[in-house]
Chain A
């Protein structure tokens, strides 16, 4: 019973293609995130959603479009893929409001390689 799941785990594609990464959490959390980890292992927030509503968009190119059909899902669609999009993309979720730790639970990551 995985808490935060992502599909696919690996994605290899050509420049210019459009691809999607799916994320689902079964923790009942209201807030979900997408983070990007670059080749130097640096993790940076891309988007956050609270109860299907976009809260944060960290100046990500508009080729990246997150979609939250319900609060348990946050998908990431990427148009016209570029070489620089190659990275590991992590989905995460956390409870909203006061919580003991507000720990963020991470998915296993999706390694995207653009050729």
Chain B
């Protein structure tokens, strides 16, 4: 069974609008961490935001926020005021066992976001 599901293969958004990228996860571990990475066409993996399973508040980093709904096992990424440079692949990932530094990330299949001028 897939541990990370991203149901939107591709998304379009108008410049300056907000966009939500969906991510649902599956784990029985009470401790886990959720990550979002951006991969532009140049290929590098850029860390955007992190949410721990015990965090009480939704994570925010500049224009990025994570809408964490633990009961629904969802961790959607919200990008506010989209910019042309936000066009990229976005990956949701999970590490089970929060604080276990040697656990690899499990990735979703990604969502390709295109920002239109």
Contacts and interface: CB of A to CB of B under 8 A. Distances in A.
B109 A40 contact: yes
A86 B110 CA distance: 20
B43 A88 contact: yes
Nearest to B99: A98
B33 A30 contact: no
Interface string A39-50: 011111100101
A41 B101 contact: no
Interface residues of A, number: 32
Interface in B11-39: 33, 35, 37, 39
B47 A99 contact: no
Residue from the set A41, A48, A56, A88 with the largest chain B CB neighbour count within 10 Å:
A41
B104 A45 contact: yes
Interface size class of B (residues with CB under 8 A): 20 to 34
A48 B95 CA distance: 13
Nearest to A49: B102
A25 interface: no
B107 A109 contact: no
Contact of A101 (B33, B39, B91): B33
Interface string A11-40: 000000000000000000011010100001
Interface string A45-66: 1001010000110000000000
A111 B50 CA distance: 27
B53 interface: no
A109 B43 contact: yes
A108 B107 contact: no
Interface of A: 30-31, 33, 35, 40-45, 48, 50, 55-56, 88, 90, 92, 94-99, 101-106, 108-109, 111
